[in-house]
Amino acid sequence: MTDANRRIVLAERPTTMVDERTTRLEEGPVPSPGPGQALVRVTHLSIDPTIRGWMGRDTYLPAIGIGEVVRCAGLGQVVESRREGVAVGDTVFGLLGWQDYAVVGDVNTVPPGVAPELALGLLGVTGLTAYFGLIDVGHLAEGDVVVVSGAAGATGSVAGQVAKILGAGEVVGIAGSDEKCAWLLDTAGFDHAVNYKTENVPKRLHDVCPDGIDLYWDNVGGDILDACLGQLAMHGRVVLCGAISQYATGAEPVGPANYLNLIGKRGRMEGFIVLDYADRFPEAQAKLFEWAVSGRIHTAEHVVDGLEHAPEALNMLFTGANLGKVIVRV
């Protein structure tokens, strides 16, 4: 930490993965908070696939502008406050960006005693996404056969475990390595794990979900989405959380040919954005926290040290190098 503010800005829109041309590390003065604002020293960054989306084009938020700090949720400590209700020393959560210091207005305070990994992962956007996606979008019902892709990632791992806690019959995780599959079975309590890099996914799904998939949680899109649509149960639901296989290919996304199965199966495919549930975050965080402290949910984190490594940390989500939540310790 220095008296300068290091900032990673978007230099060029990426077409595939982020590389040395995409971002640029700059140094500038530490900004000053205006009236109603606070200055936050950024300590942890939540590395999420959506950042890659924001770099590329307008989505549910406007694209990050060229030359602007890369937008990113994170945690930090208040070092100067001109905002009522926010005190120096408070730990806060918000869209702090890839930088050492951020000036914020509206910001959420994190209670003391909540570890940064928990605040950013299970109780952060990724855990909340799992909670609301399963319940409000997927209408998870008791006995459901649930399949989760990207199952060893920050959201997928929580989605599978919450499904189990809420009464799913069987939970199947799809992930990209034997190590991840072992973690799903041995630590996270999934009933089945499928390594999509070494196994025939449609065949395994046919074997482990002979009566079809009631709820499919899609983090990946592409062939795996297609396979799950092909194995959908009557009145099956597909929760569209993301499509990490499609974001950084440099080509147009590919649609799922088996969407037609939604007709015969009276199925549904639905997308959502967790920010719409902001007024119910406390309800969800209370439950997720209770499940974590009672040992019913296990989380994993992949911590990368140093702000300058944020671009590589983002790429991990696309190469699948991480198990669990990717966090940059600034």
Interface residues with a copy of itself (CB under 8 A)? 59-60, 221, 226, 240-243, 246, 252-273, 276
Question: What are all long-range contacts of 193-196, with beta carbons under 8 Å and residues at least 24 apart?
Answer: 193/151, 196/149, 196/224
Question: What is the C-alpha to C-alpha distance for residues 50 and 35, in angstroms, rounded to an integer?
Answer: 31
Of 14 and 256, nearer to a copy of itself (C-beta) is: 256
CA 87-280-290 angle, to 5 degrees, is: 80
Of 30 and 240, nearer to a copy of itself (C-beta) is: 240
Of 21 and 266, nearer to a copy of itself (C-beta) is: 266
Nearest distance from C-beta of residue 36 to a copy of itself, angstroms: 30
Nearest distance from C-beta of residue 284 to a copy of itself, angstroms: 18
Of 194 and 238, nearer to a copy of itself (C-beta) is: 238
Q: Which is it for the CA torsion 160, 216, 196, 318, positive or negative? A: negative
Question: What is the C-alpha to C-alpha distance for residues 243 and 222, in angstroms, rounded to an integer?
Answer: 7
Nearest distance from C-beta of residue 8 to a copy of itself, angstroms: 25
Nearest distance from C-beta of residue 197 to a copy of itself, angstroms: 22
Nearest distance from C-beta of residue 95 to a copy of itself, angstroms: 17
Nearest distance from C-beta of residue 189 to a copy of itself, angstroms: 28
Of 50 and 322, nearer to a copy of itself (C-beta) is: 50
Residues whose CB is less than 8 angstroms from the CB of residue 88 and which lie 6 or more positions away in sequence, other chains included: 78, 79, 80, 81
| Contact status, residue 299 vs residue 324, Cβ threshold 8 Å | yes
Of 135 and 240, nearer to a copy of itself (C-beta) is: 240
The CA-based diameter of the chain, rounded to the nearest angstrom, is 63
Question: What is the C-alpha to C-alpha distance for residues 271 and 266, in angstroms, rounded to an integer?
Answer: 17
| Contact status, residue 262 vs residue 229, Cβ threshold 8 Å | yes
